[in-house]
A and B are shown apart, each in its own frame.
Chain A
Amino acid sequence: SQKIEQNSEALNIQEGKTATLTCNYTNYSPAYLQWYRQDPGRGPVFLLLIRENEKEKRKERLKVTFDTTLKQSLFHITASQPADSATYLCALDVTNTGNQFYFGTGTSLTVIP
Chain B
Amino acid sequence: GAVVSQHPSWVICKSGTSVKIECRSLDFQATTMFWYRQFPKQSLMLMATSNEGSKATYEQGVEKDKFLINHASLTLSTLTVTSAHPEDSSFYICSASWSNTEAFFGQGTRLTVV
Asked if B107 is an interface residue, CB under 8 A from chain A, the answer is yes
Asked if B103 is an interface residue, CB under 8 A from chain A, the answer is yes
Write the B92-114 contact mask toward A (1 if CB under 8 angstroms, else 0): 01010101111111111010000
Q: Given the complex, which residues of A lie within 8 Å of B104, measured CB to CB?
A: 46
Number of B residues, CB within 8 Å of A: 28
Which of B13-21, B42-50, B61-69, B80-88 contacts the other chain? B42-50
CA distance A41 to B49 in the complex (A): 22
Which residue in B44, B106, B108 is a CB contact (below 8 Å) of A103?
B44
Asked if B78 is an interface residue, CB under 8 A from chain A, the answer is no
Which residue in B42, B45, B49, B93 is a CB contact (below 8 Å) of A44?
B93
When the two chains form their complex, are residues A43 and B46 in contact, meaning their CB atoms are under 8 A apart?
no
Asked if A101 is an interface residue, CB under 8 A from chain B, the answer is yes
Which residue in A34, A41, A46, A106 is a CB contact (below 8 Å) of B110?
A41
CA distance A87 to B103 in the complex (A): 18
When the two chains form their complex, are residues B101 and A100 in contact, meaning their CB atoms are under 8 A apart?
no
CB-contacts of A71-113 with B (<8 A): 89, 97-106
CA distance A37 to B95 in the complex (A): 14
Number of A residues, CB within 8 Å of B: 22
When the two chains form their complex, are residues A32 and B44 in contact, meaning their CB atoms are under 8 A apart?
no
CB-contacts of B1-43 with A (<8 A): 1, 4, 6, 32, 34, 36, 41-43
When the two chains form their complex, are residues B105 and A99 in contact, meaning their CB atoms are under 8 A apart?
no
CA distance A41 to B110 in the complex (A): 8
Q: A43-B108, A99-B102 are in contact. List 18 more A-B contacts (CB 8 A).
A: A36-B105, A43-B93, A44-B44, A44-B93, A45-B105, A46-B1, A49-B102, A97-B100, A98-B99, A98-B100, A99-B97, A99-B101, A99-B103, A100-B34, A100-B46, A101-B34, A101-B103, A104-B43
Q: Which residues of A contact B (CB under 8 A)?
A: 9, 32, 34, 36, 41-46, 49, 89, 97-106
Q: Which residues of B contact A (CB under 8 A)?
A: 1, 4, 6, 32, 34, 36, 41-46, 49, 91, 93, 95, 97, 99-108, 110
